[in-house]
Amino acid sequence: MKLGVNIDHIATIRQARGTDYPSILDAATLAEQAGADSITLHLREDRRHMQDHDLYTLKPLLKTKMNLEMAATNEMLAIALDVLPEDVCLVPERREERTTEGGLDVVKQFQQIKEITTTLKAAGIRVSLFIAPDKEQVDASHELGAPVIEIHTGHYANLTDLTLQKAELEKIQLITTYADEKGLVVNAGHGLHYTNVQNIAKIQQINELNIGHAIVAKAIFIGWEKAIQLMQQCIRESQN
Ligand code: PXP
């Protein structure tokens, strides 16, 4: 199972003071050296962390691949077509939210997401749709031609009631199998940390986990590369 390291919150620290440090490029380079399989970043409409120039700086220098998370808007589409990341993950975005809440409603926004997906695919970009573990959303994603889905694990991560968390995990397991059988590549992410990633990492059909906040938080105390390696160790050990 691959690990995509989300470096948004390195930029959050930089933007808090308007400095040019911590360096996004150093974060990405060191993450790759530590074993990250891809570098994930979210260019939000309000530019609260990543800035446009970060994408242009990183793209030619990444050794792995860039996974750009973005809203399904014309503004973001134009940027993606200019930067040409290897992967784009379409996410829902609301200006007032603290982080990405919920998945895309691919059923309701079918036409708009289909058009953006088709345009990105024509440019050679692999498109992933960030969706809740829901059969209808998987069906719609498959129907509009997305090759990849990313299952939103935020609800699973936030649940404190163990019975409810187990039920949500079972839903993620079932939907992963369902999507995998349809031929979709299945990624997962959001809210995963060092003690809840294990059950998700046991789901063999998952291709890649995208994790950010928990790794940046851990890095404050043990260092960036160690925090990434520790997450990889958690993933590996739960698969044995
Ligand atoms: N995957 C997607 C699609 C996201 O939007 C985010 C948050 O930017 C993540 C994964 C990473 O979430 P977290 O920072 O909670 O690990």
Q: 3-class SS at 189?
A: strand
- Quote the pLDDT of residue 97: 66
Residue 150 CA: which ligand 1 atom is closest? 3
Q: CA–CA separation, 104 vs 182, rounded Å?
A: 19
Return phi, psi of residue 43, to 5°: -90, 105
pTM for this predicted structure = 0.96
Q: H or E segment at 108?
A: none
For residue 191, report the distance from its CA to the centre of ligand 1, in Å.
7
With contact defined as beta carbons under 8 Å apart, do 228 and 10 qualify?
Answer: no
Q: Would you say the CB of residue 4 lies under 6 angstroms from ligand 1?
A: no
The DSSP secondary-structure symbol of 60 reads G
What is the pLDDT at residue 102?
A: 80
The pLDDT assigned to 95 comes to 65
Q: What is the dihedral of CA 48, 52, 54, 57, to 10 degrees?
A: 180
Are 148 and 121 in contact by the 8 Å Cβ rule? The answer is no
Catalytic residue numbers, as ranges: 42, 69, 190
Q: If you write DSSP's letter for every residue of 130-171 in order, what string do you get?
A: EE-S-HHHHHHHHHTT-SEEEEE-HHHHH--SHHHHHHHHHH
- pLDDT the model gives residue 30: 98
| Alpha carbon 227 to chain centroid, angstroms | 18
Q: What is the b/e burial string over 186-212, where b = at least 16 CB atoms within 10 angstroms of the residue's CB?
A: bbbbbbbebebbebbbebeebbbbbbb
Tell me the C-alpha distance between 50 and 70, whole Å. 11
Neighbours of 64 (CB within 10 A): 17
- Does residue 3 have its Cβ closer than 6 Å to ligand 1? no
Question: What span, in angstroms and rounded, lies between the C-alpha atoms of 128 and 117?
Answer: 9
Query: Closest Cα to atom 8, ligand 1: which residue?
Result: 42
- 10-residue block means of pLDDT along the chain (240 residues)? 98 97 98 98 96 98 98 97 98 75 92 97 98 97 98 97 97 98 98 98 98 98 98 93
Q: Are strands 38-42 and 126-131 parallel, antiparallel or unpaired?
A: unpaired
Task: Verify whether ligand 1 is closer than 6 Å to residue 209 (CB atom).
Answer: no
Q: What is the pLDDT of residue 110?
A: 97
Residue nearest atom 3 of ligand 1, based on CA coordinates: 130
* DSSP conformational letter for 89: E
